[in-house]
Structure 1
Amino acid sequence: MSGKRRDSKNRILRNGESQRQDGRYAFKYIDATGKQQFVYSWKLEKTDKTPQGKRDDISLREKEKLILKDIDDEIVPRGGEMTVLELVKKYFLQKTGVRHNTEANYKFVVNIIKKEAFGKKRIDKVKLSDAKCWLIKMQRDGRGYSSIHSIRGVIRPAFQMAVDDDLIRKNPFEFQLATVVVNDSVTREAITRKQERAFLEFVAQDKHFCRYYDGIYILFKTGLRISEFVGLTLNDMDMQNRKINVNHQLQRKRNMEYVIENTKTTSGTREIPMSDEVYACFQRIIENRKKVKTEPMIDGKCGFLYLDKNDMPMVALHWEKYFQHICKKYNSIYKVQMPKVTPHVCRHIFCSNMAKSGMNPKTLQYLMGHSDIGVTMNTYTHIGYDDAKEELERMTKVE
């Protein structure tokens, strides 16, 4: 009989393999850092059966294959002992010179991960199913789709950094978010055209809110981001050619500092044609614009369309508050309640209305300032049964 070591089934064991007295198999190896390591399994080969009462696992030789491949590819063992939280923090350290909104979002994500058991998990232990289950858990815990979208928008590139640094082999967050969690904002932020008209009519007739009618109408009918709208100046209004030049946005930091930033993406820099109604709104805004002794200057920009009581440019928060007060007053008067309407909802509705009207998707993408047409079609359009029925009837008539 050969002098080679064998297991209880008389199979020859390879170098580093052994079988313990309880029947469990072990493989001893030296990792990339020079440390001796062990892995175990109740099965030697894939075709072996797991002993009754023992936890099922891949076979020892399957584990050996993965280990030897990692060593050959110089993958750092055990993910460099780095946790998810440590990985995200390391990723943030590389992000210098980012916008203040982006920095605030990073801090938001870190604070969430700190509170999650998932944040203490070693990165090489995070599998695709773990990543999906964690995002599902957060939605079940009450976090909205937009928050989860922001979190994944940070953690996915952080894990990709770990892949690039040879800490792990695959990125567990490379999947479509929509396949895991429900986009509750699509349902929550959708309002009908009838509700849109009712909202605008209410604003026009109310003595307190009517002065904001033109701005609100523009938000509904142009798809402008609120940060783009509040950043508009007289120089951005080409009234002769009836177009809006969008090439920046206005933000106000938490410390109340006003800043001018580039558009959200390069695609956000665009020229938007004015309809006759939008043109009329801008005319009235310019004619009724608040007269001040000294125009506020923000990063070289002046002539902002709307100024607050301190003669500073109105920002997104002002308009969000106006919308909130309008909805509250409307719902205190009418039995049929108005759903939540915000400046961002106006953007949603504009895109949906244009899509339902048959606008070319690429044209709509341009008007919205989206770099990815998938965002235009999947996130901002709300197509239902009635829309499908109407379109089908229209196509039938064409035939």
Structure 2
Amino acid sequence: MKNQIVSINHQLTYRKYEGDSHATFRITLTKGKNTRIIPMTNRLRKVLLDLKKDYKYFHTEETVDGMSGFLFCTMRGSLQVTSMFNSDLKALVNEYNKTAEYPIDEISSYTLRHTGCTRNAEAGMDLRVLQYLMGHKSMRLTTLIYNHVQMQRAKNAVLRIETQKVQSM
């Protein structure tokens, strides 16, 4: 926390592994098997500190492969899994759409990741930095799948270049 970085070096998975009779939690290497050191924004730091402060209310005593102290737990104190998180998002969207003038489509953890990547690209984040933050081995994946170009984004990029040329004259 004091260095304001997040080290992504493992992940919590929940599935039925070979030899198991039912799904279990395990700590595994990340999909890319690399460690990424991600700079933490002040906003993220505050969110994580708030989670830690509320830890006494929503936590689990579970230990998975020697690790404990998980921040992302359900209100019942069990470990949060992606499918449950996606189910919660679906319920929120359904509730919102009951009275919404402009209903929204389904949202998932993947949608949030996808949107975050696209918005960072739209804000002008260097694509190599974006590739690193997303944990992609290939720039192709970052640009083709996650990085959508809308007309407004194209206009903004052209105007930014034009403005830079005028200012340098």
TM-score (norm 1): 0.38
Aligned amino acid, residue 307 of structure 1: C
Aligned residue type for 1:263:
T
Instruction: Let me know the Cα RMSD of the aligned residues.
Output: 1.8
Q: In 2, distance between residues paired with 1:319 and 1:337?
A: 20
Q: Which has the larger radius of gyration?
A: 1
Q: Could you say what secondary structure the match of 2:159 adopts? A: helix
Tell me what 1:261 maps to.
28
The aligned residue for residue 160 of structure 2 is 394
Aligned-residue offset at 1:283: 0.9
Cα deviations by residue, 1:337-367 (Å, 9 ceiling, x for unpaired): 1122111111111111111111111111111
Q: How far apart, in 2, do the equivalents of 1:344 and 1:376 lie?
A: 14
User: Is 1:240 equivalent to 2:7 in the alignment?
Assistant: no
1:358 maps onto 2:124 in alignment: yes
Partner of 2:77: 311
Give the alignment partner of residue 280 of structure 1, picking from 37, 46, 52: 46
Task: Return the offset for 1:290.
Answer: 3.7
Displaced runs of 4+ in structure 1, greater than 4 A? 291-294
User: How is 1:23-172 mapped onto 2 (pairs within 5 angstroms)?
Assistant: none
1:385 paired to 2:151: yes
1:289 touches 1:306 (CA, 8 Å); kept in 2?
Answer: no
Q: Which residue of 2 aligns with 1:252?
A: 14
Give the AA of the match of 1:329. E
**Identical positions, percent:** 28
Q: Which of 102, 113, 116 lines up with 1:347 in the alignment?
A: 113
- Stretches of structure 1 that go unaligned for 5 or more consecutive residues are 1-238
**What CA distance in whole angstroms lies between the structure 2 residues aligned with 1:321 and 1:287?**
25
Give the letter for the 1:319 counterpart: F
C-alpha distance in 2, partners of 1:310/1:278? Answer: 24
In 2, distance between residues paired with 1:325 and 1:313? Answer: 19
Q: In structure 2, do the counterparts of structure 1 residues 327 and 270 end up closer, same or farther at CA, with 3 Å as the change threshold?
A: same
Which letter maps to 1:264?
K
Say whether residues 1:302 and 2:68 are aligned partners: yes
What is the alpha-carbon distance in structure 1 between the residues aligned to residue 60 and residue 159 of structure 2? 58
Unaligned runs of 5+ in 2: 17-21
Residues 292, 280 of structure 1: alpha-carbon distance in 2 compared, 3 angstrom cutoff: closer
- Decide whether aligned partners of structure 1 residues 362 and 384 sit closer, same or farther in structure 2, where only a CA change above 3 A counts: same
Instruction: Give how far 1:307 is off.
Output: 2.4
Structure 1 segment 314-325 matched on structure 2, within 5 A: 314-325=80-91
Distance 2:75 2:104 in 1: 29
Assess if the C-alpha contact under 8 Å between 1:296 and 1:311 holds in 2. Answer: no
